Structure formats: C-alpha cells, structure tokens
Structure 1
Amino acid sequence: MSLIIAGERSGVGKTTVTLTLLSCLSRRGLQVQSFKVGPDYIDPMFHKYVTGRACRNLDPVLTSENYVKECFDRYSNLSEYTLIEGVMGLFDGVSQNKEETSPLPLSLVRRGIEEKDNPHLVEEINNFASTAHIAKLLNLPVLLVIDCSRLSGSVAAIVHGYRSFDKDIQIAGVILNRVGSDRHLSLLKNALEPLQIPILGVLKRQDDIAIRDRHLGLVPTAELPELNQVIDKLVNLGETCFDWENLLPLLRSTEISPPSTPSTPSPPSPLKIAVAYDKAFNFYYQDNLDILQNLGAELVFWSPLEDTELPEDIEGMYFGGGFPEVFAEELAENTSARDLVKAAIFSGIPTIAECGGLMYLCEQLIDMSGKSWEMVGILPTTAVMDKRLTLGYRRAVALQDSLLIDAGKTIYGHEFHRSRLIVDSHKPLFQTYRFDCNEFMGKEGWVSPFNVHASYIHMHWGNSIEIPQRFLEVCSKGFSPSSRTTRKD
C-alpha cells in the first residue's frame, strides 16, 4: 500500500504536508521512498534531503503509463514506507483542446490508444497526467489536503464534491490545513461529520514555518542554510498533528524486495561523463543519471561555479537546468571553467545542455536586474531574463540530426523558464507544439558543429533509452569536428 498526497487546488500545502510526513518517518529511523507526480525538479530535492533517498518522478507525459507503473513498483518495494506527492489540484491534468482537428487526441496517441477501443475519450484525457490519473493507474488511495483558512461549513461541500466526482478515486481521508483556532476546528469537524470521512491530520496556521521561494518556485535545498531548523519544526508539528495510528498502515509498503539492476550492455571501460552539479545547475531526473550509469557511464560531478578545472579524461559533458541567472556573476568570474568548457566543446567532446545549461553556453546572460555577464560563448546568442513564464509540456519534432536524435523524430518534454534568447538559431533543432493539441509553440534549440545538443526542452529518458544510448555511443567514438576516431581503452 501507499498513499498519494493530493490538494483540492494548488497552493493548499501539499508540499508542507508531504515534507512533514517524510521528516517524521525519517526521524523515526524508518526507510521511506518518495515519489512526485509531474515534471518538477525542486520538490524532489526536498524529499531527498529529508529521506536520504532519491525521489522518483511519475510522469506519463514525459515517459508512459507503463513506465510510471514499472518505476513505482521497482522503488516502492525497496522501502518500508512509500509516499507520493501529487501535482496541482487532484484532477488538474492535460486537457483536450475542444477545437482540436486531429482525428485522435494527441494525448491518447501518446498512449497508443485507438478511438474504437475507448468510447469515453473526453473522460480519459481531461485529467491525463493528473494526480487522479496516477491514483487510478497505481490503484492507490488519496489523502486530500484542504486549505481551511477561509472555510468553515463549506468544507463539507468541497470534500463531498471531490469524493463523488470520480467513483474510481478512493479518498482515504483529509488533512485540514491552516486551521485558525480550536473554535474554527470545531466548525470544520461538525461540517464534515455527516460525511463520515476520516480526518487524518490537522495543521494549525504556522507563520513561523516557511520555505523561501522565487521566480521558478521554491528555493532549492542547497541555498537554504536554515532548512534543518525548518525540518525540526516540521517534525515537532507532525508528531502531534497527524493520526499516526491510521496513517502508518496506509503508508506501509506491501512488500520489500532486493533491488534489481537492468541488464544492459556496457562499453569495455566506463565512459567518463562530466555532470555539472552545484547551486547553478541541479535540475536532473535521478532516473536519467541512473540510466547513464546502468549503460556504462561513470558520472563525475563538478561545479562550474567553484571548480577551476574540468574532471580529467572526460568523454562527454551534461549540463542540466537550474538557476544560472541567480549565479551569473559567479559563473562569469570563473573564467577558467568557462574557457575549459569552451575548449572541450571545440575539441569535439559531446555535450548535452538543457535549459539552464543552454543559457550557460550562450555568449552572454542578462540577469533579472538587467546586468550582462559573459558566459561560455559556444552559442552565438544572449539569454535574457524576462517576466514572461514559458511553461508546459511539449511535443517536439526534430528538424535536424543531433547527437541525441535524428531529424523527424518526435520527443515529449517540458519547458519551464523565464529567459529567452535574443537571437534564435538559424537552423533550429525542434519545431514544438503543445502536448495536448496541434497548437504550434515555435522553433527552438541549437545544434553546433561541435556535437552540442542545446535546448530549453527537459527530457526524461525512462521511456526513451535509445537517447542516452546514442549519446554514450557518440562519446565512445571520440567524435571530433574533423574526423571520427576509435576510442582507445
């Protein structure tokens, strides 16, 4: 068994409730595996901080329904307790555009579903990739978090609506969050009593417990020196606010089995891949890193902020997303790292750069205050921070070959950034569309002659192992701009 923490909408306190539960379980010395619905990078950082175990993303858009089930089964069986944090409101997912002209909704094409096999297409896709979708896919109960700060008797209507909206969703209980007083709690309990739904937790308003945020959500764990104090407060809160007697059986894993490593061919000796990992670059799906290692890569983590040398004998580089705009001055000042990255790329080292990584490879980065900072200079453009948020799932069709994919291939990814490029590539990598319809979103991405794949699109390789396989294959051949050479082992 496991439990999915869902909200009646965004901002009701899902992450606070999840972190409180995870912190309490971990402080009791219990093994707990967490999961996060959707493409988010930052919430999983907090999960890992308190559990010591990498959080796994469950996202059927970026991967597939089968991969979601396989991932959950694989890792939930390795711990005593399992917990899933949902995304947005319980039923918020990818919806079908009513003006879609395609004969079959693209979200269903992604799943390989034929129209004749499913007469209820609208019902199927209205909440695709939502928390409710994952709950039904994994056959797990939901713990509904409600923001009660502006509610009293109306809480019953909300709970009744969520419980009756989809009979296939089992609401195991509710968490009443941001309760103002004992009198307020009494009103809430009286309203809910006729529904006979378990109240598994009550959290009073906690003005002294807060995690800082900024333009892309919560500030990552590495930038929060006060985080241990926040966790201590959450543990103290959690020990008294939850109905542990009824919660623990719901959180306990059905069975625990030893881990299994996928059987994959590996090169004669490990391929050293330099992975940029520090406060500026830390948006990586753990599954992607694991896949690279399972395919025979040796991941060497280094910091473009602090290190003045690249790791030795590397055969590939991977720059994930993050917040280069926040640390632009420090990145610019580390001229040694910038020069070495540029020289390595010019020498033909295959390089993946996603979102923040793409920004780092530009000639300049203009931060939120309008100041311009020198970056690596591989891509002849400037990244400029903007007030406009670019957010959403993408269906991207490759317009040319890159070190990861061939022209014409379709990939599914996610964009989440507030920067834009002053000069777009004259030969863009992708033509992009919204995932759930044929709405054209634009052309983007860069392919340099020096084996660089740079894009704002974040990819999860769980259902596309051929992508990292191809990357490592190119790395193993020692590609250079002028010739291909055989790798010497």
Structure 2
Amino acid sequence: MPCLIAAPASGSGKTLVSLALAALAHRRGLSLQTFKVGPDYLDPQLLSLASGRACRNLDALLCGGPWLQRSFQRHGAQADLCLVEGVMGLFDGKGPSTEGSSAHVASLLQLPIVLVVEASRQAGSLAALVRGFRDHDPSLTIAGVVLNGVGSPRHEALLREALASIAMPVLGALPRHTSLELPSRHLGLLPAHELEDVQLRLEAWATLAEAHLDLDQLWPLLSAPAPGEAAPAPAAPANDPVPVALASDAAFHFRYPEAIELLEQNGLIVEPWSPLADEPLPQGCHGVILPGGYPELHADTLTASSRSLAALRQARQMGLPIYAECGGLLLLGKGLEDQDGVLHPMAGLLPFQARRGSLSLGYRQASPRCDGLVVRQGETLWGHEFHRWQLDQGNTGEAALWDLEGWGSPARSEGWGDGQLHASWLHLHWGGCPAIPERFAASARLAAPLGR
C-alpha cells in the first residue's frame, strides 16, 4: 500500500519530497502514479512532469468517497509505484473540520502517512510536535518523518535523538539550501511550463532523493494499490462525435485530466485552442470550454487577440454552448485589469470589469437558481473558489446562476447562465458531477457548427 505524504503545515516540503521520489522512480525506469489531495492544479502539473504520468486529484468534497476510492485503485494499480501528496496541514479541511483533509483521505484509503516537518528552527521541540500529530487521531498511522531544512550534521543528530525518544522513525533528512526552493506566485507554485531548466531540476530532485532519503524504508511505502473492481466500459456514443474547442495555453491551463476524458466519453472531439496565440476557434466546432488559469498575467496579449475575441462573440451569437470557470470567466467580461492596474478590453459578452482585490478561497456549496446549460434547479453541487481578482459588477440578482454558501464566507448569488452559457468563479471536478459533461455534450450536438 502506498503512503500519503503530509505535513504539519503548508510550506513544509511535502511537494519537494514527492517530486524527489517521482523523479527518482522515473530515472530508474519505473512508472509511478501520483495523486494530489484537494482541488489544486499547480502541484499536479509538477508531479505529472516529474513522473511522466498525469497526476490525479483526490478530493473527497468535490467527488465523494466512492469515486475517490475507484479512481485511486484504477489509476494506482496501472503503475509500478504510487504516492499521494497531501494538502496544507495534515488535519486541515473544510473550515475548522477535517472533512476533505489529507487525514480524511488517508482514513478513506487506509494509507500510512509520511510526515514532512520543516525543522530548521527546532531541536528537542520536534518530538512534542510530532507526538501531537501522531496522537491527535490514533486511527491514523504515521510511518515516519522526513526532516526538511536540516542545518548541519549536528542539527540532524539532535533531531534524530529527539524523535527516537518517542520511537518515531526518521525516513530522511533534507539539507537547508536555496536550490531546493520551488518558485511561487499569488495562487501557489509556478506552473510547470514556466519552470526554467526543467531537466536540470528533475535530475537534482532525483539526486536529492538518493542522497538524503532513506530509500530502504521509503520505497516499500510506494507500492501500488491492488486493483479494484473493473470500471464498466463507457457506452459508445449514439451519435457521430462532434468537435469542441478547449482553451489551452499559458493563460488557461487549470483543468483536471478527467475533463477531457469525460468529454470524449460523451462523444466529443476536444480540440486545443489558444486565445493567447490569437487563434480563431476551430472551424466546425460545436462548443467552447474556457478553464481557469492566469489570464490576468497575459491581459495585454489577450486584448490584442482580436480574432480569438471576435470568434467568441460569434460563438455566442450563434448559440454555441460556452462553459467558463474562474479565469475563463474573466475572458468573457468587458475588461480585465493586469497586475500593474492597467485595464484591458476582453470579449465583452458579460457586463463586468475585473480588478485585483481580496482573496476568495474555499469550498462552496452551490444551489442553481434555475435550469441552465449544465446545471438544474434543485441540484446541489460542491465546488472550489480561489482567486484574487474581483468583479465590479457581479451577477447577484434574481438572474444569477446559483447561490453559494461556504464556511466563513457570506452567502451570495453568483455567476451567469442560460441555455447556452455557464460562467462562474467556481471550479468543479466533473468526476463528482458527471452530468456536467453529459449536458454540455448534448447541447454541443444540437448546436450549428461554427463557420459553416
């Protein structure tokens, strides 16, 4: 059974340890399936890069326990090795609860935990910290600790002796060094495609694992899970496949691998489309999907992409289905402010301008106000919100797409929707709401193809 790599808090080094093990497995010619707890998009990009296989998210809130179990067994069993990287601190979930946390997922999947502890400013106090995490939930098993930020051999000896006093195995000790830092920006780590010297980093991560991790103890904790029940083969689409455009470039890249898989299972041909390159929508496409990303970092280029923006307006006029989440929503507004406060015109399909503001973060329960392109009144969906740009004119009235509620966040109405449009801040994982791609595909098949 593989392990779940967790930590007391964000920034402790669990991503670094996960990347080091994934890069080492790849160097040794072994396939390793990575998973990431929670709704994150950026860590999975790095884990996919290091392992050579698409990382899968395990989010109990967005997808539910049964789906999570099936995904873990189905994908994990197809590789030689497997690991799960946790999210934030071990017990950090929705609000103050553990729901959706790394501990929650470890309990659902019965995984042992490797705790990565940032120990650069600790000695004997480390034992109290680790003891607290070990004893907080006795149903969990902490297999051992990886020390991060170790300053010297003497410091390492102090930490090892402290953990020996509570009979906690040490599974590695990473040195304190600036070369091991992972660059980040306002929503997390840099996307994988923006990292410089990628191959050098992969080699450095693999070498780090060999030099500083106890592989005799860790490697058995990467064993792949046993396969679960075989998933039923998806039914063949009743109609001929039709193409849809998926925005895919440096501005729009926040998506889960299941999105394309589910669209294809529903009889769609997914064609990548780059607004940043000012590409027209593919001729003959029947719909448009705009995922999240960083359009605010590319607002000047997007405003100059006149062909792409005109194609979006044409798609709307022709009644093609358009699905937009978070960053994709921003492309549809009247204007988007960049990081320097300069406002740039966008497609103008929705009546707002977006500017940098306060952080919106957390899980949201969404209740649609009416039937729309992909949602129906009376349903309840779980999504995740994470953005620093805000709208000067949000759709908060009776015409809003849905009502949102979340811990610590005032209840509000949000989003735009009708029979051909779904536009919202909310990220959804379609593994937890498979009706979304089904309904989008049904609408796409009814739409007249663009440019014909």
TM-score scaled to structure 2, two decimals? 0.95
CA offsets 1:382-426 (integer angstroms, 9 cap, x no match): 11122x110000011111221001223221100000111111225
Matches within 5 A, 1:415-454: 415-425=385-395, 426=397, 427-434=399-406, 440-447=410-417, 451-454=420-423
Matches within 5 A, 1:213-224: 213-224=184-195
* Structure 2 residue aligned with 1:99: none
* Structure 2 residue aligned with 1:310: 281
**Which amino acid in structure 2 is aligned with residue 224 of structure 1?**
L
Change in Cα spacing, 1:261 to 1:44, as seen in structure 2 (3 Å) is farther
**Which amino acid in structure 2 is aligned with residue 213 of structure 1?**
S
Query: Does the CA-based 8 Å contact 2:333-2:348 persist in structure 1?
Result: yes
**Which amino acid in structure 2 is aligned with residue 442 of structure 1?**
R
- Distance in 1 of aligned mates of 2:376 and 2:143: 47
- Distance in 2 of aligned mates of 1:262 and 1:317: 27
- Distance in 1 of aligned mates of 2:88 and 2:133: 14
* Structure 1 residue aligned with 2:34: 34
- Distance in 1 of aligned mates of 2:164 and 2:380: 51
* Structure 2 residue aligned with 1:211: 182
Structure 2 spans left out of the alignment, 5+ residues: none
TM-score scaled to structure 1, two decimals? 0.88
* Structure 1 residue aligned with 2:424: 455
Query: Does the CA-based 8 Å contact 1:82-1:251 persist in structure 2?
Result: yes
Change in Cα spacing, 1:441 to 1:258, as seen in structure 2 (3 Å) is closer
CA offsets 1:305-364 (integer angstroms, 9 cap, x no match): 014222121111100000000011111111111111211121111010000000001111
Query: Shift of residue 88 of structure 1?
Result: 0.8
Query: Shift of residue 93 of structure 1?
Result: 1.2
- Distance in 2 of aligned mates of 1:139 and 1:162: 17
- What is the aligned residue count? 448
- Distance in 2 of aligned mates of 1:379 and 1:348: 15
Q: 1:408 aligns with which of 378, 387, 401?
A: 378
- Distance in 1 of aligned mates of 2:231 and 2:27: 27
- Distance in 1 of aligned mates of 2:249 and 2:209: 31
1:67 paired with 2:67, answer yes
Q: 2:348 aligns with which of 377, 391, 403?
A: 377
Query: Does the CA-based 8 Å contact 2:73-2:225 persist in structure 1?
Result: no
* Structure 2 residue aligned with 1:245: 216
* Structure 2 residue aligned with 1:292: 263
Query: Does the CA-based 8 Å contact 1:78-1:258 persist in structure 2?
Result: no
Report the more deviating stretch, 224-233 or 134-143.
Answer: 224-233
**Which amino acid in structure 1 is aligned with residue 121 of structure 2?**
R
1:85 paired with 2:96, answer no
- Distance in 2 of aligned mates of 1:258 and 1:242: 34
Match of 1:228, SS?
Answer: helix
- Distance in 1 of aligned mates of 2:18 and 2:36: 10
Q: 1:323 aligns with which of 294, 301, 313?
A: 294
Report the more deviating stretch, 86-95 or 221-230.
Answer: 221-230
CA offsets 1:457-482 (integer angstroms, 9 cap, x no match): 000111221121111111111279xx
- Distance in 1 of aligned mates of 2:167 and 2:379: 52
Match of 2:334, SS?
Answer: strand
Calculate the aligned-residue CA RMSD, in Å: 1.9
Query: Does the CA-based 8 Å contact 1:78-1:259 persist in structure 2?
Result: no
* Structure 2 residue aligned with 1:54: 54
Change in Cα spacing, 1:396 to 1:260, as seen in structure 2 (3 Å) is closer
* Structure 2 residue aligned with 1:469: 438
